[in-house]
Chain A
Amino acid sequence: MSIVTSWRPRRGRNVELLLLCLAVAIVTIAYVSVEGATRGSIPANLGAQAGGLLAIAVAIHLVLRFTASYADPLLLPIATLLNGLGLVMIHRLDIAQGRSLTEGMALRQLTWSALAVGIAIAVLLWLRDHRTLRRYTFLAGAAGVALLLLPLLPFIGREVNGARIWIGLGPFTFQPGEIAKIALAVFFAGYLVRTRDVLSIAGPKFLGMQLPRGRDLGPIVVMWLISLAILFFQKDLGSALLFFGLFVAMLYVATERIGWITIGLLLAAGGAVIAYTLFAHVQLRVLLWLHTFSKDALDASDQLAKGVMGMASGGLFGTGLGRGRPDITYFAESDFIFASFGEELGLTGVFAILTLYALLVERGLRTAIGVRDGFGKLLAAGLAFSVALQCFVVVGGVTRVIPLTGLTMPFLSSGGSSLLANWTLVALLLRISDQARQPLADPSSSGPIPTLVTSR
């Protein structure tokens, strides 16, 4: 049954501009309250700083007006707000650690933010139709794998905090896994849209569930092995979880077969058991997760305990920005930035931040539903889900839902590679959402256009 309604397309660009101003206002207030709490004065060049931030945001907004005027109006303000809040927190930690503005991490993060937004603009300008990316499916796949392998190379690979997921060239360090996430999402989308018909052929039935055919198990097993390899060689539980979860989710979306999820979960469980029995560092992670405050765990690492204590000290309303001691936690500006917010903004602030992420993911998934081509659907769903999964892995690790891993919080955490990757991700979602929300025919003629809105 179909309902035909009159519908005037809304581009939402003005809403977006309004929300952008709101986002910048919130960030500015947060900045002022940090300065007030730590130095007791309002920064002298506040106007210029807030204006600069607004200028960066408005730049990308203008690009959208001209090249993707139907793009989802929530994505950009949310990304801006998260990026800005992260900046404020990093600046706040700079102050706590006694780093001056020039040698602090905040300035670097700001530079990276501007660069990342620049790249996002470039992506929007270059990529007028996301389907172009489908042409580069296998190039993306190769690039993704290469990026993943880079840290293992001698000379440029760096091991930081026990995980070998960094590369270093001179003074620059980079976490290629973040970019690999996008490359692999493109690859999975292109690959799965091609093979989905084959992969969804029904195989044997088991417990009332349609399993795929044995001969189609190849790709998922390969992906599983790659994830295990990441876990083994790079000691990076988070990335392994992220890439495998992303693949299984996209496989499921492509084939609509629950059987794939079952197989994925079984493989993941098997991998977890293998990893736990083989690797001491995984056993340690599990100990720290389950018995955070036990003597054994604290002797090994009080990192998680300190993060949890920070959040607990924040309570319902937090200590207030600049008034807590998030600097007691290690990696307070990267892996544990969520705990830093929990400490200073309290449960209230944490709920707000999680809601922002959930909204971001929801807009991405809505884009996936709205867009008409299979590749776009898969890509949007994959990108959106990767953000959700990454949030879950990071926040779940900090709040003891799952063992702690070494991923960064999208937009919030300090780190250039993470910013570049996530702004690119948002640019892709914006591009896809532009097509998703565009009316089928160009509304050049005046008057309402009948459009199929609901069908089943």
Chain B
Amino acid sequence: MNAPIRRLSALVALLFVSLLVSSTWIQVVSAKSINDQPGNRRTLLASYNRERGSIIVGGEAVARSVASDDELAWNREYPRGPLYAHVTGYFSFLYGAGGGLEGAQNDLLSGRSDRLFYRRVSDLLTGKSPVGASLELTINPAAQSAAERALGNQRGAVLALDPQTGAILAMVSHPSYDPKVLSSHDLGAVESSWVKLLKDDGDPLINRAIAGDLYPPGSIFKLITAAAALESGQYTQDSSVPGPAALELPGVSKPLPNHDGRACGPNDKTTLLGAMVISCNTAFASLGMTLGADALRQQAAAFGFGERVDIPMRATASTMPATMDEPQTAQAAIGQFDVRVTPLQMAMVAAAIGNDGEVMTPYLVRRVLGSQLQTIDEASPETLSDAVSTSTARQLTTMMKAVVSQGTGQAAQIPGVEVAGKTGTAQHAVGAAPHAWFVSFAPAADPQVAIAVVVEDGGNAGNEAAGGSVAGPIAKAVMEAVLAS
């Protein structure tokens, strides 16, 4: 009977090997994906058991962990509450980490990131309890507060960039919420807050500056149409373009009118510069048809349309319609039809124009800091694309300066500073008040800040809204705050 016993031993060996393999599979090979399973309480608890890194703006923590004496050991606090809600996001026991950097940089904040590997090893050896990394942001606190104040109770978003680096200086989305209602350890209250936030028709959890339902850009898109025209080599800022009171569109019975119903210049003609200053619809619509849908689409893509950017939160890509006939191209050229943009994208357009045509990749985290606030990682500005040539950028700047000094954007004038801007008033639904837009940068010669502001449904001005009067002052307030600091 010894031979079968030996064979039985081989079988036993096989059984145990299968167990070794299956254990290895769970604990090493697929461990990360299992740890990242939604609803994995251990991962959540582990992230609570370890001091989570802070999110720092201008030397002040806007999200921080404070020791608590309950099971979760650490309490997440947001001292500035709604002001930074869409920057920080929330860290909730029930709903995980999300809504902003808490979610997008969870690995770093919780200390699980591979980038912290060497630090973890040294913590292991020295017996220190590991601590998550902290994030120092690019946000300018004065600009952020100014944007918050200026936007007030209106729905909309503000996004300000440093045109030369892509650093995000302000990011505000209204309505906002206080992340502490989700990070509380009173889970019943958290649940009811969550339900309330989800049901709120203002969608406070959505960061309108980079995501959400996307807005039609309206007249601020004329910057892109003008850029395409200048880049084509057929036009300069002084080229003569048609500017009738209403433009006949091929195959469409209803002509495309100007906002005020008047022609943009004598003999139904104007210059490109003149068309920009008064935001002449017919001039840019006809220009769009002349240039063609492909030229518009290429120019938009050069500014970053269609590109998903992680700032590190995933920003929704702005889009141009895939196919357009001639009347649709005319509509798109003035920012109507199915063109959809984020405030981030339009801030990038303004920034690129101010930065000699170069689009910088936007980013929110300046430095990743270790537990002793030593720098682990530092952001370096990166070029996303070259949208237009320097000469095109200069001509566009001239036009935008004129918009603010003598055109639709006079509300954004800052004494002693040359501001370049463009207004937009975007129709988005029949009967609804238009969205008010303003994009700008300043000082025009050496821009320190580029900004996009959108106020939904005309804000407090309602149907009387125009981009210049509603969004312009907000942009002005934020630009002033940046320039003053």
Q: How far, in Å, is A223 (CB) from chain B's closest CB? A: 18
Known contacts being A369-B2, A378-B1, A381-B8, is A311 close to B45, with CB within 8 Å?
Answer: no
Contacts of B6 in A (CB 8 A): 369
Q: How far, in Å, is B37 (CB) from chain A's closest CB? A: 6
Assess the A361–B26 pair: CB atoms within 8 A: no
Assess the A256–B16 pair: CB atoms within 8 A: no
Contacts of A388 in B (CB 8 A): 12, 15-16
Asked whether B373 is an interface residue with its Cβ less than 8 Å from the other chain, the reply is: no
Contacts of B16 in A (CB 8 A): 354, 357-358, 361, 388, 391-392
Known contacts being A308-B34, A347-B28, is A365 close to B42, with CB within 8 Å?
Answer: no
Q: How far, in Å, is A81 (CB) from chain B's closest CB? A: 17
Contacts of B26 in A (CB 8 A): 308, 311-312, 342, 399-400
Known contacts being A311-B26, A315-B31, A399-B19, is A256 close to B4, with CB within 8 Å?
Answer: yes
Assess the A313–B42 pair: CB atoms within 8 A: yes
Contacts of B234 in A (CB 8 A): none
User: A385 to B8, alpha carbons, bound, how many Å?
Assistant: 8
Assess the B42–A401 pair: CB atoms within 8 A: no
Assess the B1–A351 pair: CB atoms within 8 A: no
Identity of the chain B residue whose Cβ is nearest the Cβ of A389 in the assembled complex: B15
Assess the B5–A253 pair: CB atoms within 8 A: yes
Q: How far, in Å, is A276 (CB) from chain B's closest CB? A: 22
Asked whether A131 is an interface residue with its Cβ less than 8 Å from the other chain, the reply is: no
Asked whether B43 is an interface residue with its Cβ less than 8 Å from the other chain, the reply is: yes
Asked whether A350 is an interface residue with its Cβ less than 8 Å from the other chain, the reply is: yes
Known contacts being A365-B5, A374-B1, A396-B22, is A309 close to B12, with CB within 8 Å?
Answer: no
Asked whether A368 is an interface residue with its Cβ less than 8 Å from the other chain, the reply is: yes
Identity of the chain A residue whose Cβ is nearest the Cβ of B3 in the assembled complex: A256
Identity of the chain A residue whose Cβ is nearest the Cβ of B18 in the assembled complex: A401
Partner among B12, B20, B35 whose Cβ is within 8 Å of the Cβ of A385? B12
Contacts of B39 in A (CB 8 A): 298
Asked whether A50 is an interface residue with its Cβ less than 8 Å from the other chain, the reply is: no
- Which residues, 19 to 36 on B, are CB-close (under 8 Å) to A? 19-20, 22-28, 30-31, 34-35
Asked whether A186 is an interface residue with its Cβ less than 8 Å from the other chain, the reply is: no
Asked whether A316 is an interface residue with its Cβ less than 8 Å from the other chain, the reply is: yes
User: A401 to B24, alpha carbons, bound, how many Å?
Assistant: 12
- B-contact 0/1 string along A303-340, CB 8 Å cutoff: 00110111111111000000011001000000000000
Identity of the chain B residue whose Cβ is nearest the Cβ of A392 in the assembled complex: B15
Assess the A253–B1 pair: CB atoms within 8 A: yes
Partner among A293, A298, A347, A377 whose Cβ is within 8 Å of the Cβ of B1? A377
Contacts of B27 in A (CB 8 A): 311-312, 314-316, 342, 346-347, 350
User: A249 to B5, alpha carbons, bound, how many Å?
Assistant: 9
Assess the B30–A312 pair: CB atoms within 8 A: yes
Contacts of B34 in A (CB 8 A): 308-309, 312
Asked whether A362 is an interface residue with its Cβ less than 8 Å from the other chain, the reply is: yes
Partner among A249, A256, A306, A313 whose Cβ is within 8 Å of the Cβ of B35? A313
Q: How far, in Å, is B280 (CB) from chain A's closest CB? A: 56
User: A107 to B44, alpha carbons, bound, how many Å?
Assistant: 32
- Which residues, 248 to 301 on A, are CB-close (under 8 Å) to B? 249, 252-254, 256, 293, 298
Known contacts being A249-B8, A328-B41, is A312 close to B22, with CB within 8 Å?
Answer: no
- Which residues, 206 to 225 on B, are CB-close (under 8 Å) to A? none
Known contacts being A347-B27, A358-B13, is A309 close to B19, with CB within 8 Å?
Answer: no
Q: How far, in Å, is B53 (CB) from chain A's closest CB? A: 21
**Chain B interface bracket (under 10, 10 to 19, 20 to 34, 35 or more):** 35 or more
Assess the A377–B37 pair: CB atoms within 8 A: no
Identity of the chain B residue whose Cβ is nearest the Cβ of A314 in the assembled complex: B27
Partner among B18, B25, B40 whose Cβ is within 8 Å of the Cβ of A309? B40
Asked whether B46 is an interface residue with its Cβ less than 8 Å from the other chain, the reply is: yes
Identity of the chain A residue whose Cβ is nearest the Cβ of B24 in the assembled complex: A347
User: A306 to B42, alpha carbons, bound, how many Å?
Assistant: 9
Contacts of A252 in B (CB 8 A): 4, 8
User: A328 to B15, alpha carbons, bound, how many Å?
Assistant: 28
User: A119 to B62, alpha carbons, bound, how many Å?
Assistant: 65
Identity of the chain B residue whose Cβ is nearest the Cβ of A196 in the assembled complex: B1
Asked whether B9 is an interface residue with its Cβ less than 8 Å from the other chain, the reply is: yes
Assess the B8–A365 pair: CB atoms within 8 A: yes
Assess the B42–A328 pair: CB atoms within 8 A: yes
Asked whether A395 is an interface residue with its Cβ less than 8 Å from the other chain, the reply is: yes
User: A444 to B181, alpha carbons, bound, how many Å?
Assistant: 84
Q: How far, in Å, is B296 (CB) from chain A's closest CB? A: 45
User: A400 to B29, alpha carbons, bound, how many Å?
Assistant: 14
User: A356 to B261, alpha carbons, bound, how many Å?
Assistant: 90
Known contacts being A249-B8, A252-B4, A253-B8, is A392 close to B18, with CB within 8 Å?
Answer: yes
User: A342 to B27, alpha carbons, bound, how many Å?
Assistant: 8
User: A368 to B4, alpha carbons, bound, how many Å?
Assistant: 11
Partner among A351, A368, A384 whose Cβ is within 8 Å of the Cβ of B20? A351
Assess the B12–A358 pair: CB atoms within 8 A: yes
Assess the A392–B19 pair: CB atoms within 8 A: yes
Identity of the chain A residue whose Cβ is nearest the Cβ of B40 in the assembled complex: A309
Contacts of B20 in A (CB 8 A): 351, 354
Partner among A313, A346, A362 whose Cβ is within 8 Å of the Cβ of B9? A362
Q: Which 6 pairs across A and B sit closest by C-beta, in order of nearness? A: A312-B34, A399-B22, A347-B27, A312-B31, A392-B15, A313-B42
Q: List 6 A-B contacts (CB under 8 A).
A: A293-B37, A347-B23, A358-B13, A361-B12, A391-B15, A401-B18
